[in-house]
Amino acid sequence: MAQTRTTKADEIECGVFPPLPSGRFDIIYADPPWDYKGQLQHAGKGSGDSGGAIRHYPTVTLDQLKRLPIERITADNGLLFMWSSSPHLDQAIDLGKAWGFAWATIAFVWNKMKTNPGFYTLSQCELCLVFKRGKIPSPRGARNIRQLVEVERGTHSSKPAEVRQRIEAMFPQQRKIELFAREHATGWTPWGVDVAQESSRS
């Protein structure tokens, strides 16, 4: 398997993220820290403060995310599963293409079982998109995985472990990395600020 390592010059200028790992991965799973321009809530004036991403983790701009050299750690035949909030859907598709992938479809729709206020309708679902580079990795695993995930929302921005498990069932033998990871999951290489800080403390 080809090996690669990015240098500090390859990393985004904001200095938020650690260096990317060595090697190439068939499956990339990402939950980008989308920039909400400092907003603490998204339901308009007088709706109250719902917390906002910026209070929970460093957010970065689309241009900064695009500068991450993800293509260098992607196998010739690879898939990118990427979470997108509804307001960032166009940016997510743009980012996937900037990282060297072609837009494919919506992999998962997460029904959070709770609602948040919104400008138009109450926000209840979040999308996990899938992009493709080259061909779909083989060998394949399960091909009857459902798109709809119904798991009650937990802590801010945390995603249901069931989605990661469904990806594992679809591609059990492939090398996998989770970008912007907050925890270590068996069978995955975690990368991100939270896991880097955890490693530095141990």
- CATH topology for 23-37+46-201 is Rossmann fold (3.40.50)
Rounded CA-CA distance 47/31 in Å is: 27
Rounded CA-CA distance 137/28 in Å is: 12
pLDDT at 148: 98
pLDDT at 37: 64
Compute the chain's Rg from CA coordinates: 17
Q: In angstroms, how far is CA 50 from the centroid of its own chain?
A: 22
pLDDT at 194: 80
Task: Please state the domain extents for the chain.
Answer: 23-37+46-201
| pTM for this model (two decimals) | 0.83
- From first to last of its 202 residues, the chain has per-residue pLDDT tens of 333 344 444 444 446 789 999 999 999 999 999 987 644 444 444 444 444 444 444 678 999 999 999 999 999 999 999 999 999 999 999 999 999 999 999 999 999 999 989 889 999 999 999 999 999 999 999 999 999 999 999 886 799 999 999 999 999 999 999 999 989 999 999 999 888 666 555 5
Q: Which residues contact 145 (CB under 8 A, 6 or more apart)?
A: 166, 169, 170
pLDDT at 32: 95
Q: Which DSSP helix (H) or strand (E) runs through 105?
A: strand 102-116
